[in-house]
Structure 1
């Protein structure tokens, strides 16, 4: 998988490439999720199962990225208070759907809900602009890809051991895993590390 794919999708998104790519990726993900979660077909048993396998997480990231390219073309011009209402209603609906349908459907629909939620939060002038527009959260957004890739692997590798060490203190383990994942994401987001990964891995013949 070459990083040039992102540039290609971005340039061609106006011509429908992003829409077509998003639909294909969504259909593939729903198929893979059905195999993995509903039928129990797991080609990567143990720690590197479907959800926490970095390659599969990259698949999810591509789905989210193409979804963004589709949604960014939407021109929604309404007042600030209406945007705030849209954001709050979307957030409430998201949490309600996650609670009502947890473990009853495959993960693909959650991505659709998440895309809608993120789109609502990116609308300018809403109440969540002040909450999520600070420098810390903006920086987390800049390293979101790295954080997205490493966090679930850390959870699966360390969660059980950390729970034993802390006497099943779930809250403490949550913050420990959060800090570990954050530090790892910061490391992989460093320019020398990113350049090394890009030149030695992404540009190798295996990923072209």
Structure 2
């Protein structure tokens, strides 16, 4: 996935305040964007949730869609600890495998009905997405599988561009992310052989929530 050891360790450091920072800047809008198309997930589906952070989306997934199996893949040890603790404290039932690792270490042949990447693709430069991360996630989808994406996109609104610029630089300094600008992940998904089924703008157009289908 292109996450280096430095990336993992510094996201461990920021994990306890990650949700607080997001809520200060965006309120609940980022959370709302992640569940726009949650009902597209059929019950009893196998789900790969990659980069799920502190577990809020996992909680919603388990409560509302009753998946057969969830692989919760996250490179940060502290994020995984927070997510598992959240599910235990909320007494949410479900079959979840918590794995501290990167997407690039997914076993060959381990495939899922659904892949979910909440605010993951914006962490990486286009080269990393195109050469490794998107192909690996695509290979993790079963035939006719669905990929749910919620992520930041480019904008022409000056204050949104300024905010995105500041966010990228903040997380480069505090979390060691690779990218210096938003990649055109929508184009890269299409080039990888996926077909866009649904799209909804969120957060004033700064975020796009989308459903992609493996042709």
> Which TM-score tier does this pair reach, normalised by the shorter chain?
under 0.3
Higher strand share: 2
Higher helix share: 1
In our comparison, the structure showing a higher alpha carbon Rg is: 1
Q: TM-score, normalised by structure 1?
A: 0.24
